[in-house]
Copies of this chain bind each other. A is one copy, B any other.
């Protein structure tokens, strides 16, 4: 069961002027579920994206990058679930291109004004004829008020749909930011089997939009892990339609930029945390704070060593304060000159370890009390500098094995 996460309802997801969404049941892998989404953007919209670092990145990722690189004005996005179109070679590229062509034909734009996305099983041919057959239905129901349907249409092993909105006043105008995301397994930074779409009706230049997406992703999707697997398809897209009537934001120092950046980052962080809360088989949500490091990189190394350890994740699942496993993970994280005698380890508000061993004040009952909570903060103080980093993760349960052993059946 997702940890403290409810599916949004329609009124939680505010329409964004200039963004229409349409969906269909295209039967790409399974019947009777929404599995195809089209997002249409008003003329003049600007789009920025960040994508997986996986060398086996999927055909649609290659094509997204290619279309964005042409500098063409993006007018539509198309997302299918059920098949990742990854590990599919040249044939996969042809099928992704065919998808873009079909949607461009329906919308009356050029092929390179369409961005394609796929998620699902890897290394099987995309049933592109089903995708193409489903597109007219998507176009028929394009509406600004379709965000909840859109969030549902991109789900795979997700238990709940994920979406959130913010509104802020910028330069006397109301700006809306709405985002949706999917993902619950193969979750790791840079990035995840994670698709995220965040739209705003603010007006912003391309270069400021690019800066904003990197700021947001480093404080959200690049701070999460479920199982350490980086997928072939991860994509985050930030869209700005400029339809709210405000002045264009063109530089990254002003209060207008910062107000929009913070709203976008908040939406991204909430979506990222939602992915972990809905992590496959998750029963606990853990925040790993590592502070007092020389630099952020070593703090992240230690945070991820803790967050990836199957031994630690199963102990959290069991609510077992077997906290020596955390010390072991700190020790093998790869920070070569770490002085373990300077380290303090806290579980919630409880000091667990210091001076290279268990704290004299530590009582098992205190650790047990914290471990029973559904939301747990692990705090590691390295005592060697001022840098810090946060990683969000979940525990590792029987259901993780069950979900992944049965995924294709």
Interface membership of chain A positions 312-342, coded 1 if the CB is closer than 8 angstroms to chain B and 0 otherwise: 0011011010111101111110011010110
Q: With A and B bound together, what is the CA distance between A314 and B335 in angstroms?
A: 30
Scoring A residues 222 to 257 as 1 if CB is less than 8 Å from chain B, else 0, what string do you get?
000001111110000000000000000000000000
Closest beta carbon of chain B to A113's beta carbon, Å: 26
Q: Which of A3-11, A33-41, A400-408 is found at the contact surface with chain B?
A: A400-408
Given the complex, which residues of B lie within 8 Å of A341, measured CB to CB?
89
- State whether the Cβ of A170 lies closer than 8 Å to any Cβ in chain B: no
Task: A332 to B233: give the CA distance in the assembly, Å.
Answer: 12
How many residues from A make CB contacts under 8 Å with B? 68
| Given A55-B338, A331-B57, A318-B405 contact (CB < 8 Å) | yes
Total identical chains: 2
Contacts of A402 in B (CB 8 A): 398
A228–B396 Cα distance when bound, in Å, is: 15
Q: Are A317 and B401 neighbours in the complex by a CB distance under 8 Å?
A: yes
**Chain A 144-187 interface mask (CB, 8 Å, partner B; 1/0):** 00000000000000000000000000000000000000000110
A229 to B331, CA, bound (A): 10
Interface string of A77-104 (1 = CB under 8 A from B): 0000000101111111000000000000
A205 at the interface (CB under 8 A from B): no
Docked-complex contact B54 and A356, CB < 8 angstroms: no
Residues on B with C-beta less than 8 A from A125 are: 358
The answer to whether residues A311 and B186 also contact, given A84-B324, A322-B407, A328-B230 and a CB cut-off of 8 A, is yes
Q: Are A355 and B90 in contact (CB-based, < 8 A)?
A: yes
Residues B227 and A404 in contact, CB atoms below 8 Å apart: no
Tell whether, in the assembled complex, residue B123 and residue A324 are in contact, meaning their CB atoms are under 8 Å apart: yes
A121 vs B311: C-alpha distance when bound (angstroms): 12
Which chain B residues lie closer than 8 Å to A373 at the CB level? none
Chain B residue nearest in CB terms to A399: B401
Q: Are B314 and A405 in contact (CB under 8 A)?
A: yes
Q: Is the beta-carbon distance between B310 and A340 smaller than 8 angstroms?
A: no
Q: A82: shortest Cβ distance to chain B, in Å?
A: 13
**A401→B397 contact, CB < 8 A:** yes
Please tell me if A357 contacts chain B, counting CB pairs below 8 Å: yes
Q: Which of A338, A353, A356 has the most CB of B within 10 A?
A: A356
Q: Which residues of B contact A336 (CB under 8 A)?
A: 55
- Is the CB of A377 closer than 8 A to any CB of chain B? no
Q: How far is the CA of A402 from the CA of B398 in the complex (A)?
A: 8
Q: Most B CB atoms within 10 A — which of A84, A397, A400?
A: A400
Query: Does B311 contact A404, Cβ atoms closer than 8 Å?
Result: yes
Give A117 Cβ to nearest chain B Cβ, in Å. 16
Tell yes or no: A206 within 8 A of B by CB.
no
**Contact at B408–A322, with CB atoms within 8 Å?**
yes
Once the chains bind, are A331 and B401 in contact (CB under 8 Å)? no
What is A's interface to B at a CB cutoff of 8 Å?
Answer: 53-57, 84, 86-92, 121-125, 185-186, 188, 227-232, 308-311, 314-315, 317-318, 320, 322-325, 327-332, 335-336, 338, 340-341, 353, 355-358, 396-398, 400-402, 404-409
A-B contact pairs, 24 of them (CB 8 A): A54-B331, A54-B332, A55-B336, A56-B332, A87-B327, A87-B328, A87-B358, A88-B356, A88-B358, A90-B357, A91-B357, A123-B357, A124-B324, A124-B358, A228-B310, A229-B311, A229-B332, A230-B328, A232-B328, A232-B331, A310-B310, A320-B405, A320-B409, A401-B401
